[in-house]
């Protein structure tokens, strides 16, 4: 262990602390670590000078609301990768007396200089923010899905880098979290519907194109999902995989439109407590796109052939479930996860 830090405001049973949905994100130069906690605070630690005082930011509370966060943090870094310009995350202001009054805020803080860790802007959005806002390739747009607190209508919002809402689109069904990728400098985003909090077989795929400022929706009913799709691309080859209800994975491989029916679907180790429980951790792939790594809704972890879903290997924990997306080691020889 190189160093250990106790986060401000954390460390007791009644205090805030990082939990599932929050995140620990390293700046590209490795000099700072950005951490969110479930009470809505943001912590910034210096990894070089570990005696340096923690930078701590907590947004002002909204009257008669309880602030919480299930968001990690997204960083926008300048072109040479040396300086974080700003960071964004989401908090939810829970109304205990009226669920329909619950709303969220997208928070942006300064990422460097004397203003680091101070409020840049905040913008209120309807309902509950879904996981972590995503920053576009050029840093000028921020994307987030958010849903009515009752689990009804879903929203997709595009926000400018100065905190102005550019557009908002809605659906009668709730949305899952988004995946973003850059195609020739254009942001493409994909997400699914989250009907029944992932326990439903009814759900479609959505796509947003930043050059057209247009959202398209697939007409094929695929699955409900509570995780973002994973997209792999190499030149003109693209594949997409998503985890859905009943511990089922759906895959679209070379040549298949993401709006068509999946190339394959495979159920892996369903939950023994509830057979409709969805996959709750994001799928990842090997760099060449040939292997998938994913935790089931039960106590198993799988490596699958990405083209046909055949099992390459399976690891069984027997007594616990995996709670976080797996991470590949830099040399691709090992996989790390938390259960």
> What is the DSSP secondary-structure string of 31-76?
SEEEEE-TTS-EEEEESSSTTSPPEEE-PPPPTT-EEE-----EEE
What residues have CB less than 8 Å from 139, skipping those under 6 apart? 76, 85, 86, 161
As a whole number of angstroms, the distance between CA 58 and CA 105 comes to 12
**CA atoms within 13 A of residue 43's CA, in its CB half-sphere:** 22
Q: Give the β-pairing of 103-110 and 24-26.
A: unpaired
pLDDT tens-digit readout, 163-173: 999 999 999 99
Secondary structure element (H or E) that encloses residue 282, with its range: none
Contact 184, 209 (CB under 8 A): no
- CA 30 remoteness from chain centre: 21
Note the pTM of the prediction, 2 decimals.
Answer: 0.93
Give the CA distances from residue 108 to residues 28, 76, 292, 311, 322, in Å, rounded to whole numbers and listed in that order: 18, 11, 34, 42, 31
pLDDT tens-digit readout, 52-108: 999 999 999 998 899 999 999 999 998 777 789 999 999 999 987 776 789 999 999
């Amino acid at each position: 262990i190189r160093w250990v830090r106790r986060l401000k405001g954390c460390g007791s049973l009644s205090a805030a602390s990082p939990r599932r949905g929050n995140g620990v994100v390293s700046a590209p130069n490795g000099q700072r670590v950005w951490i969110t906690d479930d009470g809505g605070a943001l912590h910034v630690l210096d990894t070089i000078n570990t005696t340096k005082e923690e930078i701590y930011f907590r947004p002002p509370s909204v009257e008669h609301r309880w602030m919480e966060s299930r968001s990690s943090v997204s960083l926008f870094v300048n072109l040479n990768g040396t300086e974080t310009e700003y960071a964004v995350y989401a908090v939810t202001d829970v109304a205990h007396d009226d669920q329909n009054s619950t709303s969220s805020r997208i928070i942006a803080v300064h990422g460097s200089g004397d203003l680091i860790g101070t409020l840049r802007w905040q913008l209120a959005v309807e309902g509950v923010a879904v996981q972590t806002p995503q920053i576009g390739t050029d840093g000028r747009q921020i994307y987030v899905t958010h849903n009515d607190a009752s689990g009804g209508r879903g929203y997709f919002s595009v926000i400018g880098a100065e905190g102005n809402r550019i557009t908002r689109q809605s659906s009668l069904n709730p949305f899952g979290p988004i995946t973003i990728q850059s195609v020739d400098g254009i942001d493409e985003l994909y997400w699914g519907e989250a009907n029944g909090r992932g326990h439903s077989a009814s759900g479609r795929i959505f796509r947003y194109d930043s050059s057209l400022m247009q959202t398209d929706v697939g007409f094929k009913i695929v699955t409900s999902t509570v995780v973002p799709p994973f997209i792999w691309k190499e030149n003109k080859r693209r594949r997409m995989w998503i985890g859905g209800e009943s511990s089922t994975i759906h895959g679209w491989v070379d040549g298949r439109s993401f709006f068509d029916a999946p190339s394959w679907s495979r159920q892996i180790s369903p939950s023994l407590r509830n057979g409709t429980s969805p996959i709750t951790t994001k799928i990842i792939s090997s760099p060449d796109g040939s292997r998938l790594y994913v935790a089931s809704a039960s106590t198993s972890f799988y490596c699958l052939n990405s083209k046909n879903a055949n099992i390459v290997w399976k690891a069984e924990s027997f007594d616990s479930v995996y709670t976080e997306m797996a991470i590949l080691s830099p040399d691709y020889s090992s996989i790390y996860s938390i259960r």
